[in-house]
Amino acid sequence: MAARLLWEGYAKIIRLMIDKPVSWVDVCVHAQIVRRETAHKILYGLKDAGLCYIIDWDMDNADARSRRPVFAWGKDADVPWPAGERRRKRRVAPTELLAMIVAIRALMEDPLNGKMLASKTGTVPRTALNMIRALHAHKLIHIDHFQDRGTCGVGYPLFLWGPDQPDAVKPRRQSERSLWTKHNHYRKVRNATANLMHAIAGSDLKRTRQLAHSAELVAATA
């Protein structure tokens, strides 16, 4: 059942927890989960990852042993079980949730796009992009900035963790004349570098230009 939630379902649960503390009952109602065990796996999976903690114990009746844990987003010490020590049942978090947790941690550290996130999570770019779409739809991540694509026009967006943060404004599309100006500039720089390396090394011109192009790519991505 948990696998059917996929990224949209997990993003919805995280959004719910950020807005207010939740118990397994809240998760079942809002995410349309039938089994309590499934909700427990999700909540304790997030807790074990250090993304949430037990803030309180909801009381069904006067018996403390029947209370259910209430989870809040963030890092803090768990409120102990009112009835004393409790041996927690071991639960294995769903595979999709573990991938989402890795993605969230990566997005907390650096602005990423789908391809970058895929390399961080070990998933394919389409899966990483679907995670980004789900998290962005629930305002859990935002567009931090648009990366410059040089002569290729408007840059692609890079996303960063930050609930309810506004997206960066998309740069205005560059004119064809501006793109050609950039292209000619880069070509002149590449040719000048190749000629300089050829003069220094005294080697084959074609090979020298290949080396210059490689050096330019390395410098651009540094």
Which DSSP letter does residue 143 get?
E
Helix locations, the chain, DSSP H: 6-19, 24-31, 36-48, 95-109, 114-121, 125-137, 176-201, 205-221
* Segments forming the whole domain that contains residue 193: 176-221
Number of domains composing the chain: 3
Work out whether the CA dihedral 66, 5, 139, 110 comes out positive or negative. positive
Is residue 145 domain-resident? yes
Domain closes at, from 11, 39, 73: 73
Rounded Cα distance, 50 and 28, in Å: 22
Is residue 47 domain-resident? yes
Span 90-106, mean pLDDT?
90
Q: Is this structure's pTM higher than 0.85?
A: no
Is residue 20 domain-resident? yes
Other beta carbons within 10 Å of 29: 13
Question: Residue 2 above 50 pLDDT?
Answer: no
In one-letter notation, the amino acid at residue 205 is L
Q: Do residues 102 and 143 share a domain?
A: yes
Is residue 111 domain-resident? yes
Is residue 109 domain-resident? yes
Distances (CA, A) of 103 to 134, 140, 165, 170: 12, 12, 18, 24
Question: Residue 127 above 60 pLDDT?
Answer: yes
Question: Residue 177 above 50 pLDDT?
Answer: yes
Here the tokens at position 211 are 């080396």
Is residue 44 domain-resident? yes
Confidence grade of residue 62 (pLDDT, cut at 50, 70, 90): low
Confidence grade of residue 99 (pLDDT, cut at 50, 70, 90): very high
Give the model's pLDDT for residue 217. 54
**Average predicted confidence (pLDDT) for the chain:** 82
Question: Residue 170 above 80 pLDDT?
Answer: yes
